[in-house]
C-alpha cells in the first residue's frame, strides 16, 4: 500500500508539472500572437504575410492541442484521486500514464520546433 501511495504521488507530481508547462506554453502562444499582429501592422508585403498567416494558424492548432492535453491531465488527476488502492500498480493507471507521457513528449518536441521557426521569422522581420 505504501508503494501504491508513493507511485500515485509521483504521478501527481508529473501531472502538475505538465499542467504548469502547458499553461506557460499557452501564455507564450498568446505572446507570439501579439508579436505576429505587430508584424502584420508593419505591412511588409506578401513575403512576410504568407508565413505570418501560417504561424497564426499553427498557434490556433497548438492552443487547441494544449487545451486537449490539459483536459487529459485533469481527467488523469481525477482518476488518481479516485484510485482503488487495491488495484495493481502495473494496471490501468500505468498504461494511461504512458500514453499521456508519450503525447506530452511529442507535443513538447513540436512546440519547440514551432518556437524556433517563429523566432527565426521574428529575427528576419522585426
Residue 83 backbone zone (phi > 0: left; psi -120 to 50: alpha; other: beta): beta
**CA–CA gap between residue 19 and residue 13 (Å, rounded):** 10
Q: What's the pTM value of the predicted model, to 2 decimals?
A: 0.83
Considering all CA atoms of the chain, what is the largest pairwise distance in Å, rounded to the nearest integer? 64
Confidence of residue 36 (pLDDT cuts 50, 70, 90): very high
Phi, psi for residue 86 in degrees, rounded to 5: -95, -5
Cell numbers standing for residue 6:
508513493
User: For residue range 43-59, what is the model confidence (pLDDT) as tens digits?
Assistant: 888 888 999 999 999 99
**CA–CA gap between residue 94 and residue 9 (Å, rounded):** 13
Tracing cell 517563429 back to the chain, one arrives at: 118
Q: What is the pLDDT of residue 8?
A: 77
Cβ–Cβ under 8 Å, residues 29 and 59: yes
**Rounded to 5 degrees, what angle do the CA atoms 37, 40, 46 make?**
145
Amino acid at each position: 500500500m505504501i508503494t501504491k501511495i508513493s507511485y500515485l504521488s509521483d504521478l501527481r507530481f508529473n501531472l502538475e508539472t505538465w499542467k504548469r508547462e502547458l499553461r506557460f506554453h499557452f501564455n507564450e502562444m498568446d505572446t507570439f500572437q501579439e508579436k505576429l499582429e505587430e508584424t502584420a501592422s508593419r505591412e511588409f508585403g506578401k513575403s512576410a504575410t504568407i508565413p505570418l498567416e501560417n504561424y497564426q494558424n499553427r498557434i490556433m492548432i497548438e492552443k487547441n492541442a494544449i487545451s486537449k492535453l490539459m483536459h487529459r491531465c485533469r481527467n488523469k488527476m481525477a482518476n488518481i484521486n479516485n484510485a482503488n488502492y487495491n488495484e495493481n500498480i502495473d494496471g490501468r493507471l500505468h498504461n494511461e500514464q504512458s500514453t499521456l507521457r508519450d503525447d506530452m513528449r511529442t507535443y513538447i518536441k513540436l512546440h519547440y520546433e514551432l518556437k524556433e521557426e517563429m523566432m527565426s521569422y521574428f529575427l528576419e522581420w522585426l
